[in-house]
Structure 1
Amino acid sequence: MAPAQVSPTTNTVNTNVMKTIVPHIHPSHNTTVNKHVFQHQHYFPHSNSVVNECYNQQLICCGPPPMPPFNPCCGPRPRPFGF
C-alpha cells in the first residue's frame, strides 16, 4: 500500500458578529411661554354737520327795467329778436 497523501490543512475562519446596543441618552427640555397681550383700543367718534341756508328776496324796483348791463335788482333782460 502506498503512503497516504496529506494535503495542507485548509483553514476556514467563521466570523460571528455580536451586536451590543449601548444607549446614549441626550435629554432636552422645551418650555412654551404663552404671553397674552391686552390691547386697549381707544376710539373717539366725531361727527360733522353742514347747514345749507337759502334765502329769497322780493324787491320792488322803481322805473323801467334796466337794459344791459343789467341791474342785479331785476336780473338780465332777454333781448328782442334782431338785435
Structure 2
Amino acid sequence: MAPTQVSPAQVSPTQNSVNTNVIPHVVPHVHPSHTTNVNKHIFKHQHYYPHTESTVNECYSQHMVCSGRPPVAPMHHNPCCRPRRFGF
C-alpha cells in the first residue's frame, strides 16, 4: 500500500453565528403628582324684609241743603238726599 497523500485543505467560507445575550437593565422612572383640595366656603347672605300692612277706614260727613221732601226710597246707599250747591 502506498502512503496516504494529504491534499491541501479546502477551506469553505466562514459561517458566522450570533449568540445574543439579553441583559436586562431596570431604569426607574418616577412621575410624582400632587392633588390640592380646595374648600371654598360660600356665604349666602339671606336678607329678610318683614312687612306688615294695616287698613285705616276714614269717615267723612257732608251737610246738604235739600229742597222738598225726602225721597221715598233711597237712591244711594247713603240715606241722605243728593248733594246740591247752596243757593240753587
Common fold, TM-score beyond 0.5? no
Q: Larger Cα Rg: Structure 1 or Structure 2?
A: 2
TM-score, structure 2 normalization: 0.41
